[in-house]
Each structure stands twice: as structure tokens, then as C-alpha cells.
Structure 1
Amino acid sequence: MATQKLYAGVKLRETRGRLGLTQKVFADRLGVSLPYLNQMENNHRPVSAAVVLALAGEFGLDVTELSAGDSERLVSDMREALADPVFADAAPPLADLRLAASNAPALARAFLELHRAYRQTHERLASLDEALGREGAQTIVSPWEEVRDFFHYCDNYIDAVDRAAEHFSCPKGQHFDPVLRATEALEARGIELHLSDIPELRRREGNQLWLSSRAHAPTRAFQLLHQVALLTQNDLLEATLDLARFQSDTARAIAKIGLANYFAGAALLPYRVFLQAAQDTRHDLERLADLFGASIEQVAHRLSTLQRPGAKGIPFYFVRVDQAGTITKRHSAARLQFARFGGACPLWNVHQAFETPGRFLRQLAETPDGVRYLCLARDISKSGGSFHAPVRRYAIGLGCEISHARGLVYADDMELSNPRAYAPIGISCRICERRDCHQRSVPPLERRLAVNPDARGLLPYDIA
């Protein structure tokens, strides 16, 4: 089998820029000629094995970063955007999308931003016709989606915030109870903590902080650490927001909540201690939840963020889906990406989790690109704490590529080497090229259709 060539010009340029080196100095330290480096940085030549070794030895670079990053996400996101009927006669081939993602990622993101603005405008015109005559009406980018994309393209790993949270829970490398540390931090600032039967999860007024007695202990711990992040890490959070350059104050405010949540999760499950425990337990979510006093959802989400350079964990995907099939949280450190708009593939086991409450479902799955995954799913119910309070129900999905499956307790007794054990799944119907899927809702992008009124198979058309 031929080895896939590695084109990583953007990553090379970013690395050189981060080090503050000229092309000449960078080429000398890599042991290549200046023209050769220039060709690699412009993706006219693949990165050679000797250069990969030099990057690791000379600069300590985690060489997995050369092939990781935004490229797969951008390709997946562009394919989904191009499934829009407006591109029906102009959709470029997959090879062109891959070239754009690797050679011009800024242009690819600009295209996605433009399509998102178009889609939102189209939806407003369809549902709010009266706004057409309103003076001063204007189109704005959804702050929620802007923030979601920020975390998406940061690999859901914010290094400075992650390390600050680890230092908070593990000063001088020793792991302390984060709830105790949080309580001490509040006391040092003259803030009184109360556990009370309040309708909110958390409320602060001046030097008084209330946590809901209705909430479960992991939720209270998380909310406590969130408030500590706002009080003790404000300068760090604001500096991170300055670098992100959000388009609106609303997006910035939502992102600040997201960063405080990130700190809370990272303090509750500090990086190195949690990574070691995950490896020791073979990523048993229930055992990890007990060890750290966390919820299963908190543990699953944290596993998907263990992407610190030089100390990476298994690249997991993590997703949360509501009962309508809408993705409410999504992140993937693996090659598997999720639909930005609409629901996920109905053949994915995350949808079946609602039928088997309290149980982990396991699934071996294969995507149309031939990559195989071990997929876990479980329902999550969040009670409101009283008879009349609504119960929120979600399903979470966690998984990794099959090459990492032996590191998970959930892979035990599964037929990992049996091709027939893998269920065919996709990202969304518009970009899934499977011709014989009995759950297909719409035709795939970039495929001609043949319609025969005198014959009917699984679908009312044939896919060329």
C-alpha cells in the first residue's frame, strides 16, 4: 500500500513564524536548502521524513500536529456548506476542497463565514417577513455559532486556561480537592458560600454566593469552580477573548462563560492527573467519575480535550444530542466530524441511547472514507429537582478510531478485526455517498440521480 504524502505547508509556516526564524535560518536548522523549504511551505513538495525528524529533534515539535489540525474539519464543513442547493451547479470536487483546506485555510474559513451569513439571512427572510420593512434591520452573525466555531477550531483545547486550572488544583504538582481549593479562594476574597433551595444553579450578589441544593454534587462543584474562574482568572480570560476578536459583545460574553466552563472542567479534572487515571482505568467513564467526583458527561467531555502538545491522550470525539436529534455540543479530536446544521446520522448509536436509559451502548462503525471507530453512547437525564420541574434528556456519544480501541475497556470482547461487525454511518445525508442506505433522507452532493417511474428500490431514485 502506498504511503500517503504529507503536505503541511501552512503548519511549517506557522511553526517558523512562532519561532521567529527567517526561511534561511529555518532551512539551515532543518538541514535542507532554501528552495526546498520554500517548496514545502507552499505545498509544492511533501514534507520529507528527514524534515519530520529534524522538526522533532531540533525544535521538539509534536509531529502529529503536522497532519492534525483544521484540515479535516474544514473539508467536512465546506462539503456540508456546499450541499446547499444554491451550489447545485457549482460544487467543486473533493480534491479541490482538500487543496483549499491545506493551502488556504483562511480563505476556507472566510467562505464558511460567508455561507453562514447567507444561511442566516435566508432563514430570517423565510420566517420573519415583517422585518423587511423595519428601518435599520440588519443581518448579524449568530453569536452562539461564532463561539462554537471558536472552540471547534481551537481543538477544544485552550492551553493557557487549561494550565491555569491545573495549577489551581495541583499547586506544586500535588493534587488537592478542587472544591476545597475553591472554597478557600472564595473565603480569601471575603465571599460567603451558601447551599440553598434556589431555582438557579448558581447566583452571586456582591459577597454572597448561593449554590442550588437541588443540583447533584458534580454540578455544584462545577458551578463553584466556574465562579472561581470569573473571580481569580479574569485577566487571563479577558486576554484570551482579546486574541479571539469576536464580532459582537454578545459573542464575547458567551465565550467568557465558555472559557470559565473550560476552567471549571479542567480544574475538576486536572490534565496530568486525569490523563494518568484515564490510562490506568482504560478510560472507564464510571470509574473516572467516581475517582474525581464528576458526572459521566463531564468525564466524557474532558476526555475529548486531552490534546496538550507533547502529552496528548487518545483523540476522542464527543457529542451531545437532544431527543430531536439536534447536536447541542460537538467536538472531535479524531477525524470524525459532525454536521454543523441539522441532525446526525440516524444509524449512529447515539440515537438509540434514549431507548436504553442508564446503559452504555457500544458500536463498531465505519464512515464512507473507510475509517473505523469504536462508538459509545449513553442517555443523560438532568432532573430539575422537584416534581413539577422539567427533566432534560440528552444522549452523549464518545468514540475514537479503532487503532486506539484497545486502550478502552469498552473494546473488550468486541470483534474489532471482523469487517462485518462495523455499521455504516455518515456525517449527514447531503455529504454521505452511500448509495444503498435505507435511512437516507436527501440525495448526496456531487452525484447525479436517475429516476425510473416503473421501478422502486430503497429510494425513489438511483444514485449514479
Structure 2
Amino acid sequence: MATQKLYAGVKLRETRARLGLTQKAFAERLGVSLPYLNQMENNHRPVSAAVVLALAGEFGLDVTELSAGDAERLVSDMREALADPIFADAAPPLADLRLAASNAPALARAFLEMHRAYRQAHERLASLDEAIGREGTQTVVSPWEEVRDFFHYCDNYIDAVDRAAEHFICPNGKVLDAIQRATEALRLRGIEVQFSNISELRRREGNTLVIAAHVGRPTQAFQLLHQVALITQDDLLEATLDLARFQSETARAIAKIGLANYFAGAALLPYRAFLEAAQETRHDLERLADIFGASIEQVAHRLSTLQRPGAKGIPFFFVRVDQAGTITKRHSATRLQFARFGGACPLWNVHQAFETPTKFLRQLAETPDGMRYLCLARDVSKPGGSFTAPVRRYAICLGCEISHARGLVYADDMELNNPKAYQPIGISCRICERKDCHQRSVPPLERRLSVNANRRGLLPYDIE
């Protein structure tokens, strides 16, 4: 197998600038000609083995800094961005992407930021649902929505909090029992833990923390770890909140709870151990829940947060809906975005999950932009702990773009290459342009309608 050539012009120029050397002086110390150095710095020639050795011997440079890893990641990110349908007729060849990543990394990053801004603006279109519902009034972002957007635009991954949680539960590289570790950490802070039949999930009274005895072990562990975050990671949480610059104290208070919840989830399912197990089990939610002592919902939500730079998992979307179809949790690391207000597309299998308790439903789905997804849905019930207490029922859905489907055990035996196997779904009726959908509830916002009183099809109007 041929050895991959190393093009590192940007790194060479950065190294020379850091040393304060001219091209001529740098070339002399490397033992190469000035034209040869110029060609390497402009990626017209690869960096030779002799130059690599000279960089290490003459300047003590860690040669791993010359790795093309950053460039390859940029190429990968640009390829993902250029897969957007808006670039369908203008996507450059792979060779051009590699040249841009190697010779103009700042420009490549600017392009990625611009595409990210476009995606955010496109997703915000869904907020028109609420504006239409409150026609004539001023739309004001609530503290809850502000916090939801904060996590959404962080890709639902908070690096410092995630790493702190991983260090807490794996102090020596081994994953410890979450309840034991949390109980001991609280005891060292003078707080005793009790398990009792209380109506709340968690209640702190002075130096005593009471955890509901009737809930499952995963919920008990999560509530304990939440309190650990508030007590042992307060400085980190407050610093993160300072950077977020929320508009109100209410939003800040809600976000602090969210960050403590994030810590709890990241400690219950520590990043590296969980990512490795997810890959080994081919993302089998039930096996992962058993391995880590977590719930199906906790596992599904955690899979959607595996966005650590340099160690990313499969990009998933995750959503939770109530029985009215209202989205109560949402996050997407894929191109699929959700309606910010109201319900999701009724053709989506997440709504059918209520009809088949404890069973996983699989669906191959295609959105109007031509993107295809593997969707996995299941109901989630949360008992109240007594005969008179209400049972909370939700449905969750986890999914990925079809290009990643082979990495999931759930894709086995499905007809991934059969276009007819894909169910057409949308985001929200108001921003979905499908003309022949039998489940459409309202017309699309940006299309003209034709009304004929003497004719009736699926809808009382035609979409032009």
C-alpha cells in the first residue's frame, strides 16, 4: 500500500513565523533550497522525510503537529455541509476541498460558519408557527425557549461540563457505580442521602438529601448526580452561564438546572466509555441501558450529544413528544430540524409508538429536501409511584441520516436501497411544500392556493 504524502504548507508557514525566520534562513537550517521550501509551503510538494527529521532535530518540533488531521476534519465537515441540497448543482470536487483545507483553512472555517448560520436561519423559519398562532401580537422569546435555543445551538454538547462529569465518574479511568460515587461525594460535603417515599423525585432539607424510593435506579442515580453538579461543580456551571449571557435571571436559573442535568447525564453515561460501547453494540439501546444502568430515554438522549471534537459519534436527532403530539424535547445533530412550536408531522412513526407499548418501531423516512433517515421510535411511561398518582406517557424518537444507518443494529434487514421503502414526512405543515399529503392540516406559508368550489380532492384547495 502506498504511503500517504504529507502536505503541511500551512503548518510550515506558521512554524517559520513563530520562529521569526525568513524563508531563506528557514530553508538553510532545514537543509533545502529556497524554491523547494517555497513549494512545500504552498503545498506544491509534500514535506519530505528529511525535512520532518530536520524540524525535529533542529527546532525540537513535535512532528505530530504536521499531521493532516485538522485538514482532514475540515474536508469531512465541508463535505457534510456541501451535501446540503442547496449545493446540489455546485458541489466542488474532493480535490478542491483538500486544497482549500490545506491552503486556506481560515476560509474553509468561515464557509462552515456561514453554512451553520444558514441552517440556523432555516430552522428558525419554524418559529413562524407560533407567530401565526398569535397574529397581531409581538412575538417574545420566553426564558424557556431561550434556554432551549442555547443548548440547541451548542449542538447539545457542553465540552467543559461533559469532561468534568467524565472525570467525576471515571477518576482512575474506570467507570464507578453512579449511586455509590455520588453518595460518597455528597457525604464528603456533609450531606447525607436518604431514600424515602416522597412525592418529589428529589428534595434537599439542610444537610439531608432525600431521593424518591419508588422510582427506578436510573432515575435515582440521575437525581443524585444532578445534586452533585449543583454542589461540587457550581463554579463551572456559573462560568458557563456567564458566557451564555441570558436575557433574564429566570432564563439563567432554568439554564443552570439544564447544565446540572447535562452533568448528570454525562456522568451516568461517560463519554469515551459510552461511545465505545455504542459502537461495539451497534447502538443497541437496550444493551446500552443494561450496561450502564440507565433508561432507554437516557441512552437515546445521550447518543444525540456525542459531538466531542475529534471523537464524534454518529450524528443523531432526538425528540420526545407527549400524547397531544407536542414536542417536549428536541435536538438534532443532523440536517433534520423540528418545528419549534406545535406538533410534528403526523406521518412520523413517533406518534404511532403510543399504540405499541414497549416495542421499537422502525421507519425509513424522506423529507421534502430529499434527505433520507432511519427513525426509531418507542413509548416511554413514567409511573407516579402509587395507584392514585398519574402516569406520564411520552414517545421518543432517535434517528440518523441513512448514510450512517449501517452502524445501527436496527437497520438490519431493512431495504435501505429501495426508494419505495421511504415514507414521505415533513417538519410542520406550515413549512412543508408537499402537495399531495393526505394528513395536511393547514396550507404552506409560502405557496399560493387555488380554490374551486365545484371540485374537491384530498384538500379543499390546490397548492400552486
Q: Could you state the TM-score of these two structures normalised by the residue count of structure 1?
A: 0.76
Rounded Cα–Cα distance in structure 1 between residues aligned with 2:396 and 2:202:
24
Q: How does 1:161-172 map to 2 (within 5 A)?
A: 161-172=161-172
Gaps of 5+ in 2: 1-13, 19-38, 44-90
> What residue in structure 2 maps to residue 249 of structure 1?
249
Rounded Cα–Cα distance in structure 2 between residues aligned with 1:229 and 1:29:
50
> What residue in structure 2 maps to residue 106 of structure 1?
none
Residue 120 of structure 1 and its aligned partner are, at CA, apart by 9.5
Q: Say whether the 8 Å CA contact 2:42–2:103 is kept in structure 1.
A: no
One-letter amino acid matched to 1:443: P
Q: Could you state the TM-score of these two structures normalised by the residue count of structure 2?
A: 0.76
SS in 1 for 2:330: strand
Rounded Cα–Cα distance in structure 2 between residues aligned with 1:374 and 1:68:
28
Residue 176 of structure 1 and its aligned partner are, at CA, apart by 1.7
Structure 1 residues 213 and 457, CA, compared in 2 at 3 Å: closer, same or farther? same
Residue 355 of structure 1 and its aligned partner are, at CA, apart by 0.3
Point out 4+ residue stretches in structure 1 off by more than 6 angstroms: 61-65, 118-121
Count of residue correspondences = 380
**Matching residue within 78, 82, 96 for 2:124:** 78
Structure 1 residues 367 and 70, CA, compared in 2 at 3 Å: closer, same or farther? same
What is the CA deviation profile of residues 199-237 of structure 1, one whole-angstrom value per residue up to 9, with x for unaligned ones?
110011121000000111100000000000001100000
> What residue in structure 1 maps to residue 418 of structure 2?
418
Structure 1 residues 175 and 31, CA, compared in 2 at 3 Å: closer, same or farther? farther
> What residue in structure 2 maps to residue 376 of structure 1?
376
SS in 2 for 1:320: strand
Rounded Cα–Cα distance in structure 1 between residues aligned with 2:244 and 2:407:
35
Query: Rg: which structure is higher?
Result: 2
> What residue in structure 2 maps to residue 393 of structure 1?
393
Moved more, 70-79 or 440-449: 70-79
Q: How does 1:333-352 map to 2 (within 5 A)?
A: 333-352=333-352
One-letter amino acid matched to 2:209: L
Rounded Cα–Cα distance in structure 2 between residues aligned with 1:64 and 1:307:
20
> What residue in structure 2 maps to residue 282 of structure 1?
282
Structure 1 residues 220 and 283, CA, compared in 2 at 3 Å: closer, same or farther? same
Q: Say whether the 8 Å CA contact 1:451–1:462 is kept in structure 2.
A: yes
1:49 and 2:85 are equivalent in the alignment:
no
Rounded Cα–Cα distance in structure 2 between residues aligned with 1:54 and 1:433:
40
Structure 1 residues 386 and 151, CA, compared in 2 at 3 Å: closer, same or farther? same
Structure 1 residues 52 and 169, CA, compared in 2 at 3 Å: closer, same or farther? farther
Rounded Cα–Cα distance in structure 1 between residues aligned with 2:429 and 2:389:
36
Q: Say whether the 8 Å CA contact 2:383–2:389 is kept in structure 1.
A: yes
Q: How does 1:130-141 map to 2 (within 5 A)?
A: 141=141
Moved more, 214-223 or 65-74: 65-74
Tell me how large the CA RMSD over aligned residues is.
Answer: 3.0
SS in 2 for 1:194: strand
Q: Say whether the 8 Å CA contact 1:326–1:343 is kept in structure 2.
A: yes
Residue 65 of structure 1 and its aligned partner are, at CA, apart by 9.9
Gaps of 5+ in 1: 1-15, 21-27, 33-44, 85-115, 126-138
Structure 1 residues 62 and 448, CA, compared in 2 at 3 Å: closer, same or farther? closer
Residue 72 of structure 1 and its aligned partner are, at CA, apart by 5.6
Rounded Cα–Cα distance in structure 2 between residues aligned with 1:347 and 1:281:
29
SS in 2 for 1:74: helix
Rounded Cα–Cα distance in structure 2 between residues aligned with 1:269 and 1:428:
33
One-letter amino acid matched to 1:403: S
Q: How does 1:178-327 map to 2 (within 5 A)?
A: 178-327=178-327
Rounded Cα–Cα distance in structure 1 between residues aligned with 2:169 and 2:355:
38
Determine what percentage of the aligned residue pairs are the same residue: 74
Residue 74 of structure 1 and its aligned partner are, at CA, apart by 1.6
SS in 1 for 2:400: strand
SS in 2 for 1:318: strand
SS in 2 for 1:220: helix
Rounded Cα–Cα distance in structure 2 between residues aligned with 1:277 and 1:30:
42
